[in-house]
Structure 1
Amino acid sequence: MANKESSIAYENLNRRIFPGVGEYGIPRLEAETFDGNCEFVGFNYARGNCRNPEKKAVHFFIDDYQFDALWRNVDRYVDKLRQFQYVLTPDFSTYTDFPKAIQIYNHYRKHWVGAYLQEYGCRVIPTISWSTPESYAWCFDGEPEGGTLAVSSVGCMNSAEKRSLFLSGYAAMVERLHPETIIFYGSVPEECKGNIVRVRAFSDKFKEAVCDGW
Structure 2
Amino acid sequence: MCLERSERNDKNYENVNKGCFLTAGEYNIPILAPVEYRQCEWVGFNYASSVKDRRGKGIHFFLEDYQFTRLWGNIDYYVPMLSSYDSIMTPDFSLYTDFPIALQIYNHYRKHWIGAYLQQMGCHVVPTICWSDRESFRWCFDGEPTQGVVAVSSVGTQNSKKRREMFLEGYIEMMDRLQPTHVIFYGTVPEECRGDIVRIKAFSERFHEAEISQW
Give the stretch that moved more between structures: 49-58 or 142-151. Answer: 49-58
Q: Which consecutive residues of structure 2, in runs of 5 or more, have no partner in the other structure?
A: 1-5
Q: Which amino acid aligns with 1:78?
A: V
CA distance in 1, matches of 2:61, 2:53: 19
CA distance in 1, matches of 2:11, 2:75: 17
Q: CA deviation at 1:49?
A: 2.3
State whether structure 2 residue 138 is matched by structure 1 residue 137: yes
Q: Which amino acid aligns with 1:52?
A: D
Aligned match of 1:44: 46
CA distance in 2, matches of 1:133, 1:4: 43
Q: Which amino acid aligns with 1:142?
A: G
CA distance in 2, matches of 1:137, 1:113: 21
CA distance in 1, matches of 2:115, 2:140: 15
Aligned match of 1:26: 29
TM-score, normalised via structure 2 length: 0.94
Q: Secondary structure at the match of 1:10?
A: coil
CA distance in 1, matches of 2:35, 2:134: 26
- Root-mean-square deviation (CA, aligned residues, Å) is 1.5
Q: CA deviation at 1:54?
A: 2.3
TM-score, normalised via structure 1 length: 0.94
Q: CA deviation at 1:39?
A: 0.5
Q: Secondary structure at the match of 2:78?
A: helix
Q: Secondary structure at the match of 2:55?
A: helix
State whether structure 2 residue 97 is matched by structure 1 residue 102: no
CA distance in 2, matches of 1:185, 1:30: 22
Q: CA deviation at 1:155?
A: 0.7
CA distance in 2, matches of 1:27, 1:60: 19
Q: CA deviation at 1:5?
A: 4.7
Q: Which consecutive residues of structure 1, in runs of 5 or more, have no partner in the other structure?
A: none
Deviations 1:67-106 (A, max 9, x none): 0111110000001111101000000000000000000000
State whether structure 2 residue 71 is matched by structure 1 residue 70: yes
CA distance in 2, matches of 1:44, 1:76: 15
Aligned match of 1:81: 82
Q: Which amino acid aligns with 2:135?
A: E
Are the structure 2 counterparts of residues 69 and 197 from structure 1 closer, same or farther at C-alpha, using a change threshold of 3 Å?
A: same
CA distance in 2, matches of 1:42, 1:9: 27
Q: Which amino acid aligns with 1:45?
A: Y
Aligned match of 2:115: 114
